[in-house]
Amino acid sequence: MPTAENYTPGYTQSASDFMARRSAQTHAAFLLPHLRSSSRLLDCGCGPGSVTCDFARLLPSGQVVGVDRETSQVERARSHAAGLRLTNVKFEVGSIYELPFPDASFDIVFAHAVFEHLASPAVALAEVSRVLVPGGLVALRSPDWGGFIVAPDTPGLQSALRRYIAIQTANGGDVHVGRKFPGLLRASGFASPSFSATYECYPSPPLIGEYLALRLVSAGALAEAEALREWSRHPDAIFAQAWCEILGNRNA
């Protein structure tokens, strides 16, 4: 069983809205060349489902399933899919540690912005492997805080970022999981790993600044939250987030 973990971002409307701006084109480009129109794809930790629904549009004769441990996110994702009149996607509540699907149900398993919150990534990968067909594709994407470029270095910025990292680590997460993807896949028996990394540059620093600041406020780190907000209002503020990506095949 996994070690105890808490999901750092929480499920406020603003946190969920922050995720819902994502699309398959902007956040899963590394996987798009590997989609086949009839693929059966599972999106683990699908959140509000914006990326999941994009996959459904891209796989007109395929089947897409989103799973998330949080009911409010699954309900939001269902309502998003209904609004788009998609008929080849469904959403279910469930944990990546105990996926509610039979063995060998999917050709592709995707997890975006999930593994950095997991205390037991190897346990999760074993479960991902179980639901993949032999030869099936796993696709993971997570940030690695060691690669972020955040400037200018305003007063309190570095201690605010360090505090955020400490909170996520105390919650059982790993802000450096991205660089560990190759080793994790190898240890879990996946073949042909292909690692890449990309940057997401936030066009509006207050968007990411406020997202992180609200997490700091929830943890009682008020001075650090204010330092982040002050940084985000600086006219030269930039936040470039490093995302690590990996593809690998379940051994046949």
Task: Tell me the closest approach of the beta carbon of residue 169 to ligand SAM, in angstroms.
Answer: 15
Is 45 one of the binding residues for ligand SAM (CB under 6 A)? Answer: yes
CB 86 within 8 Å of CB 111: no
Please give the sequence-ordered ranges of beta strands (E in DSSP) within 144-178, or none if there are none.
149-151
Task: Tell me the closest approach of the beta carbon of residue 200 to ligand SAM, in angstroms.
Answer: 11
Q: Sign of the CA dihedral 17, 31, 92, 82?
A: positive
d(CA 126, CA 227): 40
d(CA 54, CA 64): 10
CB 34 within 8 Å of CB 227: no
Helix, strand, or coil here: 120?
coil
Query: Residues 67-86 vs ligand SAM: string with x where CB under 6 A?
Result: -xxx--x-------------
Task: Pick from 40, 76, 117, 229 the residue near ligand SAM by CB under 6 A.
Answer: 117
* Choices 44-52, 178-186, 194-202, 223-231 (CB under 6 A): range interacting with ligand SAM: 44-52
Position with the least CB separation from ligand SAM: 47
Task: Pick from 23, 88, 95, 218 the residue near ligand SAM by CB under 6 A.
Answer: 95
Task: Pick from 114, 138, 160, 242 the residue near ligand SAM by CB under 6 A.
Answer: 114
CB 250 within 8 Å of CB 134: yes
Task: Pick from 7, 148, 195, 202 the residue near ligand SAM by CB under 6 A.
Answer: 7
d(CA 193, CA 82): 35
Is 212 one of the binding residues for ligand SAM (CB under 6 A)? Answer: no
- How would you classify residue 16: left for phi > 0, otherwise alpha for psi between -120 and 50, otherwise beta? alpha
d(CA 25, CA 112): 13
Is 232 one of the binding residues for ligand SAM (CB under 6 A)? Answer: no
Task: Tell me the closest approach of the beta carbon of residue 117 to ligand SAM, in angstroms.
Answer: 5
Q: Where do contacts with ligand SAM occur on this chain (CB under 6 A)?
A: 7, 9, 19, 22, 45-47, 51, 68-70, 73, 95-97, 112-114, 117
